[in-house]
Structures are given as structure tokens and as C-alpha cells.
Amino acid sequence: MFWLIFISIIIIFSFGIGAFIGAPWVPAFEQDFDELLTKTKVGKGTEFIDLGCGNGKVLEAAAKRGAIVTGYEINPVLWLVSWWRVRSYPNASVWIGNMWGVHLDHYDVVFLFLIHHHMPRMARKLSHSLKPNARVISYVYEFPGIKPSHKTRNSFLYQAKAFGTIDTKVLPKKNSGLQKTKSKHTK
């Protein structure tokens, strides 16, 4: 009984912390992966990162194309699932840790599936940490005030230069002023 309660607390805490400091776990739809990865030219040798990699399915899809994939996940349970999923790919690594502290300056493609109130903070991070030709895939949520280069059914694609031109001082710090830009997360 003690162990059951103990394990339940660990699981609840693991899922709670992700929801609190980033986004709760909701997996991206697998049927979207091909379009996203093709549009952002993910292929052999592409340095690809998923910030908050959840169950690792996006990482696996990119690794299958020969990309060098990195995942960060704050939830130890999901980190383990991700790590297990991509364990056979020599070009894949999955780290347990907080995405907000990750250096992004050598990645070609940054994938993220956050939540609307963290988009301004992420835009500020990207504005000073992307390499010049990097591409950003934001699943479901649009960055406020930043023009995507493409829109797909469930995501917004950006070029690094779009973040270089934003005035980070005017980006809203909280929800205020955020556009209601959530796309329909459609199957």
C-alpha cells in the first residue's frame, strides 16, 4: 500500500511539474509529423531539438529521417518513455531537464508544443539564441506578433530571422495583449 501511494505521488508530481513550468503533456498528432518535418527540411544531419519531448514520437520521426535529434523533458516518467523509444538510434539523445536553460545556438530546427501563456517568454529566448538559418515549429500555438513563414493544419513555422526583428521589450510578459491565436488541434 505504501509503495502504491508513493508511486502515485511521484507520477502526479512528475506530470504536475511539466504543466506548471512549461506545458502539460498532450502529444502532437503523428499524422502531422511528415508535413512539419518536410516543410522545415529535416533530413540527414539536421540538428533537431524538441523542447519538452513528451513521449518522444516527434524525436523518433526526425531520427528516422537521419536527423541528429535531442530531446529535453522535465517529467521523469516521460523522459524514460522518450529515452526508451529512441534508444536504438545512434543519432538521438534525450535529457532530463528544464528546457528554459537549454542553449539553442547549434540547432537547425527547434520543435515546441507549449501553451499560450509561455509563448512570449519563449519568443524572447529564441530572439537571442537561434542560429541564423534555424527554423522553428510551434505546434498549435502562434507566437504573438511574429509572422510565421508557413501555417500547417496544427502548427506555425518560423524562420530565425523573424525572431531577430522582434522588439522583445514590447512582447507581453503575461497573458495581457496576447492574440488569441490557438489553432484548432484537429485530427
Ligand X SMILES: C[S@@+](CC[C@H](N)C(=O)[O-])C[C@H]1O[C@@H](n2cnc3c(N)ncnc32)[C@H](O)[C@@H]1O
Instruction: Provide the binding-site residues for ligand X, judged by CB under 6 A.
Output: 18, 21-23, 25-28, 50, 52-54, 57-58, 72-75, 78, 98-100, 113, 139
The full length of the chain comes to 187
Could you tell me where the DSSP H helices lie in 22-71? 30-39, 57-64
- Least distance in Å: CB of 167 to ligand X? 25
Place of cell 531577430: 164
Q: Which among 63, 55, 119 is positioned nearest to 93, based on CA atoms?
A: 63
In whole angstroms, how close is the CB of 19 to ligand X at the nearest point? 7
Quote the least distance from Cβ 3 to ligand X, whole Å. Answer: 24
Closer residue to ligand X in complex, CB, 95/172: 95
Nearer to ligand X, 38 or 165 (CB): 38
What's the CA gap between 161 and 164, in Å, rounded? 5
Please say which residue, 52 or 144, places its beta carbon nearer to ligand X: 52
Give least dist CB 139 to ligand X, A.
6
